[in-house]
Amino acid sequence: MDTFFQLNRGLHIAAGFTGFLVAPVALALRKGGAGHRAWGRVFFWAMTVAGGTALVGSWRIHSAFLLLTAVFSLYMAGFGYRSVFLKHLAWDARVAPFDWAVAGAGLAVFVGTVGYAFWAHNIAVGVFGGLGAMTATRQLRGYANAGRWAKNQWLLNHISGFVAGYIAAVSAFSVTSLHFIPFPLNFLWPTALGVPVIVWWHRRVRGGHPVQVQVRAAGVAADPASPIA
């Protein structure tokens, strides 16, 4: 059993390190280009492996923070990845049952997380639980409004999901490894640095600045009427 957890820890470190290095590269490359898509997929799978191994590791060390941060990171990375396949919701009101189910389950989990945070007086867990609940709520509201989305809403979701997942992963690393940073700064500083990046990108997209985006995903066709397609 110890060997299993050692291997799990090694895989977690390797995947997390890969994600930390790849995310800035994907963010810097031309959006929708071959490089951005390739490195974006590497980041998504690195975060998936890192989050999955963190779930296993949290059971080993009995860490509620690591467990719930892993859930948040996985959810947000999945949200960001899945958004690429939902561009059609700007003109199509049909939402897959899978998307409803994931958002609904996410809301239930994150509301439960907030409740646990109040009970355990765990500020860090409460922060991620609250952010997750707000994200899932916005997803459900968005699905209810399918067919009337702004044409770049999928892009805003894509940015928010991937950057938020990255923030959560860095926060978990900071809390578990950067012991020289005092609480609560050890889990707040990634959010303080990452949220302005999300806000800046959202303003850039909404403000009509040129953002070259090309969608080349299975089952998704770029809308020629979209100003960012």
Burial class (CB in 10 A: 0-12, 13-18, 19+), 202: middle
Total-model pTM? 0.83
How many CA atoms lie less than 13 Å away from 124 in the CB half-sphere? 22
User: In 3D, which of 157, 167, 227 has the Cα closest to residue 192?
Assistant: 167
Which two structure tokens, joined as six digits, stand for 221?
């066709």
pLDDT in tens, 19-42: 989 988 988 888 778 889 999 999
In this predicted model, what pLDDT tens digit does every residue of 105-158 receive, in sequence order?
999 999 999 999 899 888 878 888 999 999 999 999 999 999 999 989 999 999
**pLDDT > 50? residue 80:** yes
Q: Minimal CA–CA distance to 192: which of 174, 180, 179, 205?
A: 174
Tell me the per-residue pLDDT of 154-208, one tens digit each, with 9 for 90 and over. 999 999 999 999 998 898 889 888 989 998 888 889 989 999 989 998 898 887 6
C-alpha angle 156-160-161 in degrees, rounded to nearest 5: 115
How far apart, in whole angstroms, are the C-alpha atoms of residue 89 and residue 134?
20
With a cut of 50, say whether residue 214 has pLDDT above it: no
